[in-house]
Amino acid sequence: MRIILWAIFLLYAAASLVAFGAMALDKHAAMRGRRRIRESTLHQLELMGGWPGSLAAQRWLRHKTADRRYRFVFRLIVALHALFWLSLAAIIFWPVRG
């Protein structure tokens, strides 16, 4: 079980670093008027576990903070992750008795 938790932690950490980097590149491209990274790509990175890195980029780089649609989808992704982990915890720690 410990190895699985470490693997999940490393997956989230790696995905977060990639998401943060993608947000930084997108911010840089936006400031220079260059080709941007698609929002769907940023959301896919968040779905793969990179939402903490994306959140950090939004806060530190002040990127994607005014785009209401983006923030809405981002919050849905975070909620999906929370729902997944709460459901998994319920299955593991509160088994059905019958």
Per-residue pLDDT of the chain (98 residues; tens, 9 = 90+): 789 889 999 999 999 999 999 999 999 999 999 999 999 999 999 999 999 999 999 999 999 999 999 999 999 999 999 999 999 888 888 877 76
Contact 34, 26 (CB under 8 A): no
- What's residue 94's pLDDT? 83
Domains in the chain: boundaries: 2-93
Q: Which two tokens mark 55?
A: 């959140």
Task: Please name the residue that has the structure tokens 């997108």.
Answer: 26
Q: What span, in angstroms and rounded, lies between the C-alpha atoms of 17 and 4?
A: 20
pTM: 0.88
- What's residue 98's pLDDT? 60
